[in-house]
Amino acid sequence: MHNSLWKIGFLLKIRVLMAAVLLSVVGCSQHNDEVFAPPPEPAGWSDLSAGAPIASQDGFRLLNPQSTEGLFPASIAVARLAQSDGQLVLAMKPEVDFLAWNSVFDDYRGISEVFPMNVKDLDGGAVSAENLLTAAKALEAGMLLLYTESRTQFDRCSMSGVLYDVRSRTALASIHATSLISDPVAPEDRLARTASATTLEDRDPRLVAVSTFEAYVRNCLRGLMDKDRSKNVGPVEGWIPAYPVEPLIWPSQYRSRHHDRG
C-alpha cells in the first residue's frame, strides 16, 4: 500500500514537471517568434482631424500661428487609430507604447508624462476624435496625439498624426512621416518593435517610419514650447511682502552679540 501511494505521488510530480516544462517552452517560442504583424487598415485624415481639412505634407506643420499661454508643462495622451470592418478602433499595445513614447520625451522637461489611451477610457462610447478628446480631458491630459499607421509595403511605410490642445479641443499641428528604402529587409525578417532590431532598423520600412515620425513629433513639440508663455510670469498674488526683504545673514549678528554679552 505504501509503495503504491509513493508511485502515484511520484507520477503526479512527473506530470506537473512535464507541464511546467511544456508551458515554458511554449512561452519562449512565442516570445522568440514575435515578428512584425501588419496593422489593421489605417484611419484617414478626416478621422484624425474630426473632419477638418489638414494637409498631409511630410514633416510637421503648426496649425495655429498665434503663441500659446500655459500649454506647458503638460502630459500627453496618445491614441493610434485604425479601421476594422468600417469602424474606428484603437490599435494600441499599452505595455509597449507607454515605454516607447515616454522614452521619446525623456529629456523634455515640459512633458511630464505620455500615456496611451485605452478603449475603457471611452466609457462605452465610439472611438472618435471627439470622444477621445473628452476622455483625455477627464484623464487630465494637456494634449492628445491621434495617429495612424499605413500598411507596410515592401519598401515603404507612412504614419500620420494630429496633435490637439485638450482644453480648447483645437488641432495644434499635423505630422506626417514616410519611409522609402532602396534595400529593404525581407518581410519575413522584420521584427516587432519590442524585439531587438539594431542591425535591421535602417532597412525596415516600418521602423524607419516610426523613428522619423517620433522625431517629427519631438521637433513639433519643441516648436510649440518656443511659442508658449508661462501663466505665472510674476509673483504669486498674496505673497508680496509689505516690508523690505533683507538678505539672510548667517551667522545671525543679533545672536552673536547676545551670546558675547552672556
Mean pLDDT of 40-60: 78
Burial 18-45 (b: 16+ CB within 10 A, else e): eeeeeeeeeeeeeeeeeebeebebbbeb
* Rounded-to-integer distance, Cα 133 and Cα 129, Å: 6
- pLDDT at residue 210 in the model: 92
Per residue in 218-238, pLDDT (tens digit) is 999 999 999 998 876 555 566
Peptide bond into 251 cis (omega under 30): yes
- pLDDT at residue 122 in the model: 94
Per residue in 146-158, pLDDT (tens digit) is 999 987 788 889 9
Residue 8: partners with Cβ closer than 8 Å, 6 or more residues away: none
The residues that bridge with 78 in the sheet, in sequence order, are: 116, 145
Domain 41-180+207-227 fold: Rossmann fold (3.40.50)
The C-alpha cell that represents 124 in the structure block? 462605452
Residue 228: phi and psi, rounded to 5, are: -90, 145
- pLDDT at residue 158 in the model: 92
- pLDDT at residue 192 in the model: 59
Report long-range pairs for 116-121 (Cβ below 8 Å, ≥24 apart): 116/77, 116/78, 116/79, 116/80, 116/92, 117/77, 117/78, 117/79, 117/90, 117/92, 118/90, 118/92, 118/94, 119/89, 119/90
Strand 156-165 relative to strand 170-180: parallel, antiparallel, unpaired? antiparallel
Whether the pLDDT of residue 251 is over 80: the answer is: no
C-alpha to C-alpha distances, 86 to 49, 81, 83, 157, nearest whole angstrom? 18, 12, 6, 22
